[in-house]
Each structure stands twice: as C-alpha cells, then as structure tokens.
RNA sequence: GCGGGCGUGAUGGAAUGGUAGACAUACGGGACUUAAAAUCCCGGGGCUGUAAGCCGUGUGGGUUCAAGUCCCACCGCCCGCACCA
C-alpha cells in the first residue's frame, strides 16, 4: 500500500484516553455484589522517593495487564495504588535541605502520581492513600491497641544497635564494620525497652501454612521456611560441679543431636550468656575475651571468617551419661545467645564447628556414629566431622541404634531424670524467628499510642483520643528523636489519673505500615481499620506482584498481621495473598568516562556492533568505556528515566517492551533497540488498522470463503485462546509473541486483499483486527482505544470484554505429522485429523525418505502417536 | 556450607517426553527512493561447493521407539540464607 498515513501520535492520544477513563470512572471498583466474581490485583506500593523508575514501570505494567485482562473476563476488579510514605529518607532530606518531611513526602507523591497517571494504569484512584495520612495511621494506632489488648504486643528489654552520635537505634543493615552507617560512630550494644509484636507465637502456624500457599513461588516459600527456622531437639540440663563461686548448680543447653551425647567433650557458652558475664566479672581473662568479641561486633564479614575461639571458665560439669566424668565449660565466639539457650554441648566428632574448636584447644574427639558398612576399627575422624547417617556406637545403652532411634531413646532417658529438681531433658522445638521489634527513635513514623504514667505504668491512649498526631513543629538540627526533644508534645496527663505523664516518643517501624495496607484499600476511608464484611469479599489478594527483596520481611509481617487482624475481628482470613509473584529486575549496561566516572545512558552515543561496538560522550565525543550489565541504580547512573521514555515513545511502548522481552521472573535488559521495536510494532498496528479501514466493511456472506480466509479466521481465534492462556500463566512475553504472529498474518492478508479484493475476506480481516485490538488492550491500552474508536466500535475497548472463541476453529481437519526413522525426523505428511492408524502407517512407509532408510527391509516397529508423530524403528 | 534457580543461534528468548531455535532484536541481500529515513520482500545453528548426509540445547553417562525436557555424576553462573548447635 503506497498511500501515506499520519503516524500514530501517543503524545496526543494517551492523555486523551487517560482523561476518558477517569471521566468514565472505568476502573472504580464496586463494593456492591453485582453478580460478578471479585478479583483483587495488587502491586507493591512504592516509597515516594520522588521519581518512578523502570522497575516500577515493569511491576505495574504486569499488574495492569492482569487487572485489565481480568476485568475484560468479567471480574469485578479491585486494583488500587497508594504510598508507603513514612521512613527515614524524608528525615534525611529534612536534615540536608531543611524541608519538612511532610512537605517533601507529599510533593514527591504528587510528582509520582502524575508519572503513574501518564502510564495509563487502570487504578482505582478513589482508594489512594499514603501511610503518613493521619486518617491511615489513626487506624493503625487502633490496630495497635487492639493487638495490645489481645496480648499480641509486648514490651520487653532487648539488645539493640545504638549509635551514640545520632542517638538512635540502628537496624543491623545500617551497621557497617561495627560503625553507624551515617555517623561513623562505633555502635554500642544497648539494652533498651522496646515494643514487640509477638510474631514468634505464630512461628508454627506461619510455617505450616506455607504448604497451603501453592500460588506462591517455591523460592519465596523456601526463604520463609528458612527464616522461621524450625528445629526439633532436646533442652538438656548439665549439672555444674560444686567447686564454683557462681552459686549456680546447672547449665542448660539446646541440641538437635542428643544421640551424640556420649561423644560430648565440652560445654560452650555464648559470650552474651548471663553465666559468662558473671564469670567475666571475676575472671579478667574471660572478661577480656568477651570484650574482644564485642569489639568485633556485628560486622558480618568478620563473623563469617572468624576462627573458632574460646576461653576456659574454670568450671566443670558432670557428664550426664557418664557420671564419673566431667567436661570443661568454655565461653566460645561461635555460640549465639539468641538461639536455643545460648549454650551448647560440643561433640567434635560429629559437628564441624565443635571439631575445629576441639582441635584448637586439645579436647577429646570421640566418634559415636559409625557410617554404614564401616568397620569400627577403620573409622577415624580427621579434619572433617562426620555428619552423615549411621549406627550409634561407643555409647553404652544406645549402641546399635540408628540416629533417629537413639534420639528417641535418649529423650526418654533424660525425661526420666532430674537435675536441680527439674526434669533433665525436655523435647523442645526451637525457631529462629524472633519477635518483631517495632520501636524506632524517629520522627517520621506512626506514633505508638501509649502513655507512661508514674503510677499506672503503660497506659493505652483511649481510642477516643486517637489519632496521636505527629507535631509539625519539629527540628532536625540536633541528633536524636525530634519527638523526644519537642518542648510540649510528650507531656500529657495520664488518661487514668490525670497526673503528669510521658507520651511514648518512639514511632513504629515502617514495615508495620505496609503490613495491612492491602486490607485498608478495601475500605480506605472507613472510620475503623476495615469493614470486615467488605474486606472479606475482596481478600485475600488474588495476585500480588513485587520485588523479591520483600520475599521475607514484608510478606512475613503481612501474614502475621492478617492473622492478628483475624483474631481481633478486623479480617476473616489468615493469609493475605493467595497468588504471589516476584518479578525480575530491570538491568542496563554501565558506562564510564576516562576519569572512571559513571555516565548516564542518555548522555552517550553508541556505534558499531560486536567487537567494534563502542561508545562516545554525546557532548564532546570523548571515549566511553562500556561496562557490565547491572541492575539500574542511581549510583552507577545506568538509569533510564521513564518520563523521558513516555515523552519520546509513549506509555504504551514502555509497557509493551517491559512485557515483551523476557519472562517476567527473569531480569530484563533495557535497550534502545527494544523500545524502538515496541514503537515499530505500534505503528505497524496503526497501519494495519488504516489498511483495514481502507478496504471497507466487506460482506458477511461466506459463500466465497477460501482456504486462506479460513486460515486467517483460525489464526485469530487461536491467538485469542493462546494469549488468554499465556496471560493467565503470566507468560507475557509469550502472549506478545502470539500477538506479533497475528499481526503479521493480518498485515499480509490485508496486502493480499488490496491486490485481490474479496468482500468476505475483508469482513474476516476486520473481525481479526477487532480481536487483535482487544488482545492488545491490556498491554497497549491507549493505542487499542484509538483504533477501536476509528474502527467505529461503540464504547471503549476497556469495556468491551474479552473476544469470544469459536472452539470449532481451534481444531484442524487435517494435521501435519512428523515422520521419524529411529527417532530422527525424515519427513512430514499431511493426514486427515484422526486418520486411522493403518492409513497413517501406510502413508508414512510410502514416504521416499522412509523407504530409502528402510532399504527394502520391513520395519521392526512403528510407533504412532495419533495426529502428532510417526516413528519407524528399523 | 545449606537452600533455590539457571545454562538453547550473534542477542533476548520459544518449545504438555513427540518436527529444537516460535516471536523479537541485530545482521546480510533485494525492492521502493535522486538519496536517506520509514516501509515491504527474501535469507539465516554448524560442517560438507550443491544435494543426500552428519553434528548440534554446559560436560559425561543412563532410561525411552523418541530427551532441551526425566534419572545419575560433574562443570559453570546467578540469587537467598548462613557459626541456628
């Protein structure tokens, strides 16, 4: 076709349709039961850092495809968006630029909202909120009080990382080589009284329910399983020999290998163990060891590589199964205080750490597990501990038992004995999962709604007095918590007695905010946290999409919160997310100039290919070194600004490219060629539409139908089916490929009709294009709307539903069967579908290639998979 | 160390145990054009001049009429957790 048409202009069309959807309230979810099934589509809400990045574009494009698709399939879809708006960056900005965290945050939200709107995402914006809205944190405070009343919250003393310069608690991630990440001060371990959510009460439940979450990636479930870290073992008392000055008579250890008790050769305490601290006070050598341990502190790097070291305490314990023997008690650097009891018994022969320790301090190594089919005389433990299966030996009454049987036997044995008037051994399940400490000494977070009264202790703020609002008049010029040094805010009367009291000045961890926002979306403006009747119709979220970096904490906290809200009557289910998906990152090449500084992709020019590929700085022509492909990050400057892409190519192209190139769980590399390809496709659809319009409406009279016309009809119907299957399976790249095939087919067909007009063919083309637009609509919604309108369809494609599929067109009456000889393809043949086996066999044997391979001999065997393949075995 | 995942053309990737390389990108050739862009058509895993054929999904074995796909062993890469007793 030689006529020229104007190019499709996304800059004009996209804002037009965004306004139309808005005016039409196309994506406002209905809380009324209108007979449609509900579908809750959610993407992880962003932190309002100021700009959206390509990772957001990818995440939200995927979510939008599903939301629009499900809506087309007749679901009542809830697809909300909001802002995870509390957090430290706002306070840092306040310190650096003097702008108030609130001003900074809301300005960022406004900017990012405009960016998201320019992408044409099908959000129900009427449900938008920010977690820093008093309306939101009011309800969060209500939840806190309900949790408190239900015994789900506790206040206890805990060791925390304390930055003495900034006067704040630091998360483990913020301590680098034992120093505060911002102040550089040596971090102290401080014992502080903190608020905790009792998530560890739910350890078993949270673990067990993972098995029911079959809509989650196995990887995420595994990560959560490991994080919860269940292990079953024995809590065991060792009797301290009387000659000690501590006044204690026993030491308690936890072990998962009680079957190796006869191999025990020492006891080791954590440096943080109360008994170790007690001995340290009298014994300078022990205290020196503990101090040295603390100086190494939290730097994970050094912890990993640290040699097993310890110091003898002078104490001895009685061997629990060999009463005439004693074992030395050490303080050792590899024993953790916050797991088990903070003390272990060492069995060097069957634990590598214990073995390393024993070799260093000359302790006994007594093998008690004999590997299968091994002669006891041949078995020795050298540099490697034996941790495999085997038979117990050197163990008196356990001899000959398997490990599992020995565990049961020894548990029974210790269960019947006493030390200190207590049962010596108790079967116990231990979890790594610790309670969730939520106290933060920060301003920009949700205030914890309690008051400390000298008489009544901790008093909850009465619900009528909520919300406890953050004061606006705060300063950030000094270190520490602005709430704490505010002149008046914390001075309040006790709600019970009216005496002068102190308001809690800690705020909640921002993970609390994101642990229930998905529930709040169901009634975002209700005067209670949720309206259970409504929340229960929407939840659990049908599909949740976000980054794998939240696979543990955010998802685990949300699962806990859902259970806690269930117990306190705010929700009617235990699991928040039925389907869950973690998308891959957006990566890009990195570029550096001759000085080694990172350079933005937008500032360079790329030329050549392969070996000859090189880059220069656009402004000066200076050479640029092309570096590794890495996750887009500000620090490496390998970022592409979504705004720039939307301005240049339009939102549809950005969305299309993000969906088309890689499977969604894998990383996708942003390339100029890729976005160009999307843009080319967009114009191709546009031209196809105009070619179709040019040909006119055609005729429904099928009497002139040809095989070619039929094959186009089939292609269209099959693609509808295939794209639906692909979208349901989140194989967006595969859906895109099928749409390409349909577009190619229709374009060629349009060209053929131009050359040889055919009225029925024209009608089939038009029908195919109509279907194509509906398939494209979830991905390139603006383009689809414009074309839909030009095609003369009434209403919007967003409301048009999903195209029907004539299942009769999905099956062929003939099939092409591959013919193999000895499993190698030698030819193919066309047979009627469902052709009888003898027919197929005869035809296959008559193929020239087959006859040649047979060379006159009869085939040994012929395998026929009907309508699929023939394999002749010679 | 433990756990999870991945390895397919020049590149991203496709393939319910049944024709490996769909689709796209890059590239080469052609058409159109004064020319370029855009667009359209053709080509393409390797070896062999062509054809027939042989080889080919990280490596080596195995199961099967048939293996990218299942099993075993190994190599490499990525991610997560990590002194959890």
Contact (CB, 8 A) for A408 and A419: no
The pLDDT score that the predictor gives to residue A608 is: 64
Average pLDDT in the A297-315 region?
68
Closest CA to A106 of A474, A489, A518, A444: A444
The CA–C1' separation of A5 and B36, in angstroms, is: 20
Phi first, then psi, for residue A824 (nearest 5°) are -110, 135
The CA–C1' separation of A733 and B66, in angstroms, is: 29
Closest CA to A425 of A416, A434, A433, A435: A416
CA gap A56, A84 in Å, rounded: 14
CA gap A835, A838 in Å, rounded: 9
Residue written as tokens 């973690």? A582
| Closest CA-bearing residue to C1' of B52 | A849
Residue A197 β-bridge partners: A153, A436
Tokens found for residue A129: 């909120």
State yes or no: pLDDT of A588 exceeds 60: yes
CA-to-CA separations, A139 to A442, A448, A460, A516, in angstroms, rounded: 20, 12, 14, 10
The CA–C1' separation of A818 and B69, in angstroms, is: 19
The pLDDT score that the predictor gives to residue A297 is: 55
CA gap A698, A550 in Å, rounded: 54
| Closest CA-bearing residue to C1' of B80 | A223
- Of residues 13 to 72 in chain A, which lie within 7 A of strand B by their beta carbon? none
Largest CA distance in chain A: 109
Strand order in the sheet with A76-78: A76-78, A38-43, A543-547, A580-583
Q: Return all residues near A834 (Cβ < 8 A) that are at least 6 apart.
A: A866, A867
Strand ranges (E), A164-249: 168-170, 175-176, 179-180, 188-197, 230-239
CA gap A471, A443 in Å, rounded: 9
Q: Which nucleotide is nearest to A227 (CA to C1')?
A: B81
Q: Which nucleotide is nearest to A347 (CA to C1')?
A: B85
The CA–C1' separation of A211 and B6, in angstroms, is: 25
Chain segment A805-862, per-residue pLDDT in tens: 988 887 777 788 888 888 878 877 888 877 788 888 888 888 777 777 777 777 788 8
Distance of CA A461 to the CA centre of its chain: 35
The pLDDT score that the predictor gives to residue A865 is: 83
Average pLDDT in the A20-47 region?
93
Q: Which nucleotide is nearest to A868 (CA to C1')?
A: B18
Q: Is A623 helix (H, G, I), strand (E, B) or coil?
A: strand
The pLDDT score that the predictor gives to residue A4 is: 63
pLDDT band at A472 (very low <50, low <70, confident <90, very high): very high
Nucleotides of B under 7 A from a protein CB: 3-5, 10, 12-16, 18-20, 22-27, 38-41, 52-54, 65-67, 79-85
The CA–C1' separation of A847 and B63, in angstroms, is: 30
CA-to-CA separations, A623 to A16, A334, A616, in angstroms, rounded: 43, 51, 4
Q: Which nucleotide is nearest to A296 (CA to C1')?
A: B83
The pLDDT score that the predictor gives to residue A782 is: 97
> ipTM for the complex?
0.93
Chain segment A592-619, per-residue pLDDT in tens: 888 888 888 888 887 765 556 778 888 8
pTM over 0.95: no
Average pLDDT in the A85-102 region?
90
CA gap A632, A801 in Å, rounded: 37
CA gap A269, A235 in Å, rounded: 14
Using alpha carbons only, give the angle A564, A568, A569 rounded to the nearest 5 degrees: 115
The CA–C1' separation of A315 and B62, in angstroms, is: 58
3-class DSSP string for A510-561: HHHHCCCHHHHCCCCCCCCCCCHHHHHHHCCECEEEEEHHHCCHHHHHHHHH
Q: Return all residues near A317 (Cβ < 8 A) that are at least 6 apart.
A: A238, A239, A240, A241, A251, A267, A326, A327, A329
Distance of CA A229 to the CA centre of its chain: 18
Chain segment A50-81, per-residue pLDDT in tens: 999 999 999 999 999 999 999 999 999 999 99
Say yes or no: Cβ of A868 under 7 A from any atom of strand B.
yes
Tokens found for residue A25: 């309230």
pLDDT band at A37 (very low <50, low <70, confident <90, very high): very high
Average pLDDT in the A265-283 region?
90
The pLDDT score that the predictor gives to residue A747 is: 92
Say yes or no: Cβ of A613 under 7 A from any atom of strand B.
no
CA gap A396, A321 in Å, rounded: 9
Contact (CB, 8 A) for A415 and A427: yes
The CA–C1' separation of A627 and B55, in angstroms, is: 36
The pLDDT score that the predictor gives to residue A1 is: 40
Say yes or no: Cβ of A252 under 7 A from any atom of strand B.
no
Say yes or no: Cβ of A416 under 7 A from any atom of strand B.
no
Give me the DSSP letters along A731-799. Answer: -HHHHHHHHHHHHHHHHHHHHHHHHS--HHHHHHHHHHHHHHHHHHTTTSHHHHHHHHHHTT-SS-GGG
The CA–C1' separation of A657 and B31, in angstroms, is: 30
CA gap A82, A123 in Å, rounded: 10
The CA–C1' separation of A297 and B68, in angstroms, is: 49
Q: Which nucleotide is nearest to A827 (CA to C1')?
A: B19
Q: Return all residues near A457 (Cβ < 8 A) that are at least 6 apart.
A: none
Q: Which nucleotide is nearest to A660 (CA to C1')?
A: B24
Say yes or no: Cβ of A874 under 7 A from any atom of strand B.
no
Tokens found for residue A136: 């939101």
The pLDDT score that the predictor gives to residue A300 is: 42
The pLDDT score that the predictor gives to residue A301 is: 43
User: Is residue A695 within a helix (H) or strand (E), and if so which, with residue range?
Assistant: helix A672-695
The CA–C1' separation of A313 and B83, in angstroms, is: 21
Distance of CA A477 to the CA centre of its chain: 37
pLDDT band at A18 (very low <50, low <70, confident <90, very high): very high
The pLDDT score that the predictor gives to residue A612 is: 62
Contact (CB, 8 A) for A504 and A447: yes
Say yes or no: Cβ of A733 under 7 A from any atom of strand B.
yes
Radius of gyration from C-alpha coordinates of chain A: 35
The pLDDT score that the predictor gives to residue A382 is: 81
Which of residues A467 and A669 earns the better pLDDT score?
A467
Average pLDDT in the A564-577 region?
96
CA gap A150, A201 in Å, rounded: 13
Q: Which nucleotide is nearest to A308 (CA to C1')?
A: B83
CA-to-CA separations, A506 to A311, A374, A503, in angstroms, rounded: 39, 61, 9
Give me the DSSP letters along A22-84. Answer: HHHTTTPPP-S--SSPEEEEEEPPPP--SS--HHHHHHHHHHHHHHHHHHHTT-EEE----B-
The pLDDT score that the predictor gives to residue A175 is: 65
Tokens found for residue A829: 């043949």
The pLDDT score that the predictor gives to residue A13 is: 94
Residue written as tokens 């996708």? A668
The pLDDT score that the predictor gives to residue A2 is: 41
The CA–C1' separation of A776 and B39, in angstroms, is: 22
DSSP A574: S
Average pLDDT in the A773-785 region?
96
Report the percent of chain A where pLDDT is more than 90.
52
pLDDT band at A244 (very low <50, low <70, confident <90, very high): low
pLDDT band at A299 (very low <50, low <70, confident <90, very high): very low
CA-to-CA separations, A443 to A74, A133, A473, A517, A854, in angstroms, rounded: 45, 14, 11, 21, 84
The pLDDT score that the predictor gives to residue A443 is: 94
Least confident of A110-119, A132-141, A375-384: A375-384
The CA–C1' separation of A668 and B78, in angstroms, is: 14
- Of residues 654 to 713 in chain A, which lie within 7 A of strand B by their beta carbon? 660-663, 666-669, 671, 673-674, 676-677, 680-681, 683-684, 687
DSSP A447: B
Contact (CB, 8 A) for A10 and A782: yes
Tokens found for residue A362: 């000359």
The pLDDT score that the predictor gives to residue A177 is: 62
State yes or no: pLDDT of A302 exceeds 60: no
């Amino acid at each position: 076709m030689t006529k020229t048409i104007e190019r499709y202009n996304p800059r004009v069309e996209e804002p037009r349709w965004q306004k139309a959807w808005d005016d039409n309230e196309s994506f406002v979810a209905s809380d009324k039961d209108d007979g449609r099934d509900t579908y809750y589509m959610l993407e992880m809400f962003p932190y309002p850092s100021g700009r959206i990045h390509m990772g957001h574009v990818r995440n939200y494009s995927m979510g939008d495809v599903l939301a629009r698709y499900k809506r087309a399939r007749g679901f009542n879809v809830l697809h909300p968006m909001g802002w995870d708006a509390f957090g430290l960056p706002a306070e840092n900005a306040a310190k650096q630029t003097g702008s108030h965290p609130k001003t900074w945050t809301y300005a960022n939200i406004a900017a990012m909202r405009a960016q998201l709107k320019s992408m044409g995402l099908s959000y129900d914006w009427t449900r938008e909120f920010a977690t820093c809205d008093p309306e939101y944190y009011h309800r969060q405070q209500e939840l806190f009080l309900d949790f408190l009343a239900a015994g789900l919250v506790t206040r206890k003393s805990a060791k925390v990382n304390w930055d003495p310069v900034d006067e704040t608690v630091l998360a483990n991630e913020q301590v680098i080589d034992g120093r505060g990440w911002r102040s550089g001060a040596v971090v102290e371990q401080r014992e502080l009284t903190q608020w905790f959510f009792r998530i560890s009460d739910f350890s078993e439940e949270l673990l067990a329910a993972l098995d029911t979450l079959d809509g989650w990636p196995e990887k995420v479930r595994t990560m959560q399983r490991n994080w919860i870290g269940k292990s079953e073992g024995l809590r065991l008392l060792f009797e301290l020999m009387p000659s000690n000055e501590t006044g204690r008579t026993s030491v308690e250890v936890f072990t998962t290998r009680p079957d190796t008790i006869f191999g025990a050769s020492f006891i080791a305490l954590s440096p943080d163990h109360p008994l170790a601290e007690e001995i340290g006070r009298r014994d300078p050598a022990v205290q020196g060891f503990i101090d040295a341990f603390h100086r190494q502190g939290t730097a994970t790097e050094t912890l990993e590589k640290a040699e097993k070291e310890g110091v003898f305490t002078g104490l001895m314990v009685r061997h629990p199964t060999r009463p005439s023997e004693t074992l030395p008690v050490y303080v050792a650097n590899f024993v953790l205080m916050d797991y088990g009891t903070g003390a272990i018994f060492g069995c060097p022969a069957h634990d590598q750490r214990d073995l390393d320790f024993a070799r260093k301090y000359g302790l006994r190594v007594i093998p008690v597990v004999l590997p299968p089919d091994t002669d006891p005389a041949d078995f020795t433990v050298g540099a490697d501990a034996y941790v495999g299966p085997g038979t117990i030996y050197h163990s008196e009454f356990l001899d000959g038992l398997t490990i599992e049987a020995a565990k049961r036997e020894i548990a029974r044995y210790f269960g019947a004995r006493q030390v200190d008037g207590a049962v010596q051994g108790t079967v116990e399940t231990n979890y790594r999962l610790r309670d969730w400490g939520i106290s933060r000494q920060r301003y920009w977070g949700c205030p914890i709604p309690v008051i400390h009264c000298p008489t009544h202790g901790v008093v909850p703020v009465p619900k009528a007095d909520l919300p406890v609002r953050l004061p606006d008049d705060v300063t950030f010029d000094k270190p520490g918590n602005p709430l704490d040094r505010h002149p008046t805010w914390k001075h309040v009367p006790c709600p019970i007695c009216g005496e002068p009291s102190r308001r809690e000045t800690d705020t909640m961890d921002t993970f609390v905010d994101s642990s229930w926002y998905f529930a709040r979306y169901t009634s975002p403006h209700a005067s209670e946290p949720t309206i259970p009747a409504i929340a229960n119709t929407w939840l659990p979220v049908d599909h949740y999409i976000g980054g794998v970096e939240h696979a543990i904490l955010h998802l685990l906290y949300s699962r806990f919160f859902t259970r806690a809200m269930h117990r306190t009557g705010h929700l009617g289910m235990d699991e928040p997310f039925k389907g869950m998906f973690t998308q891959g990152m957006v990566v890009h090449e990195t570029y550096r100039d001759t000085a080694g500084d990172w350079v933005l992709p937008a500032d360079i020019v790329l030329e050549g290919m392969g070996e000859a590929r090189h880059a220069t700085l656009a402004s000066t022509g200076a050479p640029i070194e092309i570096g590794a492909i890495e996750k887009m990050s500000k620090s490496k400057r390998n970022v592409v600004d979504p705004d720039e892409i939307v301005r240049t190519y339009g939102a549809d192209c950005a969305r299309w490219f993000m969906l088309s190139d890689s499977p969604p769980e894998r990383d996708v590399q942003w390339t100029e060629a890729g976005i160009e390809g999307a843009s080319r496709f967009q114009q191709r659809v546009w031209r196809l539409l105009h070619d179709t319009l040019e040909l006119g409406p055609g005729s429904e009279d099928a009497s002139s139908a040809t095989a070619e016309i039929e094959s186009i009809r089939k292609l269209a119907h099959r693609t509808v089916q295939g794209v639906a299957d692909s979208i349901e399976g989140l194989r967006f790249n595969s859906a895109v490929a099928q749409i390409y095939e349909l577009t190619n087919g229709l374009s060629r067909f349009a060209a053929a009709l131009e050359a040889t007009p055919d009225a029925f063919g024209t009608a089939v083309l038009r029908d195919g294009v109509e279907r194509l637009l509906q398939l494209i609509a979830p991905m390139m919604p603006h383009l689809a709307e414009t074309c839909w309108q030009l095609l003369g369809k009434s209403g919007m494609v967003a409301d048009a539903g999903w195209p029907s599929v004539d299942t009769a067109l999905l099956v062929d009456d003939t099939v092409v069967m591959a013919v193999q000889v000895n499993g190698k393809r030698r030819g193919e043949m066309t047979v009627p579908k469902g052709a009888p086996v003898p027919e197929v066999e005869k035809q296959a044997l008559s193929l020239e290639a087959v006859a040649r391979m047979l060379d006159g001999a009869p085939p040994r065997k012929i395998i026929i998979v009907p309508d699929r393949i023939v394999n002749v075995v010679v």
